Structure 1
C-alpha cells in the first residue's frame, strides 16, 4: 500500500502562461530527494480546471517520464463528465501512471447513486488502481461513507482522498473499509491526527514548499510516534493555515516563486497573491526554517 507524503504538486508555468516542463522536472527531483512518496499531478493544486485536455495529458506523461519509477505517480483524471473521466484515466494508464485520482463530479450535483455509477463505470473501463477524491467544499456533492464502502469492494478502487477534515467521519471510515483500502487526507491541518488515528498518508499542499518536513511528519505519525509527529507538525502549522489565505493554489505558487523554485504565474480566473498576504506567507516559511 502506498503510504506517506503525496504532494499535490503545482503546475509550473512560464511568465507567458505556457507550461514550464523544466521547472516541473526540477520540482519532481527535489521531491524525490526530500522523501516524498508520490507525485499527484494535475489535481486541484495543479490547476486542473484551467489546463486543456491536451495539456492535462502532457503533464501526466511528463511526470511519468521524469519520475522514472522512483516514486508513485498519481494522475488526476477526474471530471464531471463520466466519459471525459474515462478518457483521461485510460490515457493515464496507457502512459504508465501508477494510480488515478478521480474527484467527485462537480457542479452537476449527482446523487449518491449517480456517484456510485460514475466511479463504477470508470473502474470497469480501466485496470489502473483508482483513488476516490471527496472534496465537497469545491464540488458541492459529498461522497458519503456508505457509498465509499460500496465502491471499496470493486477490485481496482483502492483508496480515497478525504478532504473534509472531519476526523469523526474518518474514524468511521477506517472501521468499515477493507484492510487493504488506503485512506489519505486532503487536509494538511488535520493530517497528523488523521494518520495517528490510522490513516495512510496525506495528499498535501504544504509538501509543495516543505517536502522533507511533510515526509518526516507522515513517517512518524504513521508509525505512531506521537511526540515527534507533534513537534514536526508544530513547525508546519503556520504553513498549513496560511497557504489557504486565498484560494489554493494562489498562495503556494507565490511561495514557490519566493523560494526561487519557479515563476509564480497563475491562470485566470485565479490571480496573483494579494500583497497584504506576502509577509504572512514569508513568516510561515521562516517558522518552518524554509527561508
Structure 2
C-alpha cells in the first residue's frame, strides 16, 4: 500500500450557513489540498462523520470520487461502537474507487483488548478493501495497546494503523515488531517526523487541510533522512497546532480555511464556529 505513504489529509466537510453540505466548498478544499497532499481521507473525525447521515455520507464520497483533481488515493471512514452496525454499513457502501477503509476503535463502551480485536476482525472479514485501524484514546477513552495492534496486524486485510495515542513508546514497539508491510501512520501532526524516523510511513493530518504544501514537506524531508529539516518545519506549526483543538476539531482548521478563502467555517451542533478569541489567535499566526 505504498499509495498511502506520505501525507493524507483528514478532509473537513464544509457546510452552508443553513447547515447543508457545501459541495462548492468541498470542491475548493479538494483543489486546495491537492496542491500538496498524497491522499484524501474522507469522513474521518475531522470530516464531522458523527453528524452526517447515511445519505450525506454516500453523496460526499461520490462527490470526492468525481472531483478528485489529481486522482489521489481515497481512504474512507466507517467506524463505531456497534460492530454489527459498522459491518452493515460496510456491506451497503460502494467501495469502487476507494483504496482503504479507516475505522476508529470503539468509543464510549470501552471494550477490553480482546473485544477490540474481535471487533476489528469482524470488520476486516466483511470489508472489500484493506482496513487501516485508528487508535485515538483522547476521543474513544480506551487505548489499543501495541500488543492488540500487533495481533490485528496478522489479519490479511488489516494493513496499518493511524496511531494517535501520542505514546511514542507504544509506537516504537509497533514499529519494531510489526510485519514489514504493515503501515504505521501518525495520527498526531506534530509527531510525524518522529513516527517516520522510527519506521512509519507518514501521517493522516488535520493541519494539511490549511497548509497542504507546507505540512506535507515534513514527511517528504523525513523520508529523505533530513530529520533536522523535518523538525524545523514541524516547529513552525508549534503555535498553530494547539489552536486546531482548542475548541474541538475541526473548528480551528475550518477557521484557517475561512481566513484563507477556501471554504466557510460552519460546523454542526454540538460544535459551534470559532470564538472571536480563537479567530484572533489564528489571524495572528497567519499574519
Retained in 2: the 8 A contact 1:102–1:132? yes
Post-superposition offset of 1:93: 4.9
Post-superposition offset of 1:239: 2.1
Post-superposition offset of 1:241: 2.4
Post-superposition offset of 1:283: 2.3
Q: Secondary structure at the match of 2:240?
A: helix
Match of 1:235 in 2: 236
Q: What are the superposed Cα offsets for residues 222-246 of structure 1, whole Å, 9 maximum, x if unpaired? A: 2221122122222222222221222
Match of 1:18 in 2: 20
Q: Tell me the matched-pair count.
A: 285
Measured in 2, the distance between the counterparts of 1:69 and 1:123 equals 28
Post-superposition offset of 1:28: 1.0
Match of 2:100 in 1: 99
Retained in 1: the 8 A contact 2:30–2:69? no
Match of 2:247 in 1: 246
Retained in 2: the 8 A contact 1:89–1:100? no
Retained in 2: the 8 A contact 1:199–1:222? no
Q: More displaced, 108-117 or 82-91?
A: 82-91
Q: How does 1:18-57 map to 2 (within 5 A)?
A: 18-32=20-34, 34-57=35-58
- 5+ long unaligned stretches in structure 1: 287-291
Measured in 2, the distance between the counterparts of 1:45 and 1:183 equals 20
Measured in 2, the distance between the counterparts of 1:119 and 1:50 equals 23
Match of 1:4 in 2: 6
Match of 1:80 in 2: 81
Retained in 2: the 8 A contact 1:39–1:71? yes
Q: Secondary structure at the match of 2:204?
A: strand
Q: What are the superposed Cα offsets for residues 19-59 of structure 1, whole Å, 9 maximum, x if unpaired? A: 01121122112222x22011111111111111112212221
Measured in 1, the distance between the counterparts of 2:189 and 2:74 equals 20
- Give the CA RMSD over aligned residues: 1.5
Measured in 2, the distance between the counterparts of 1:275 and 1:22 equals 26
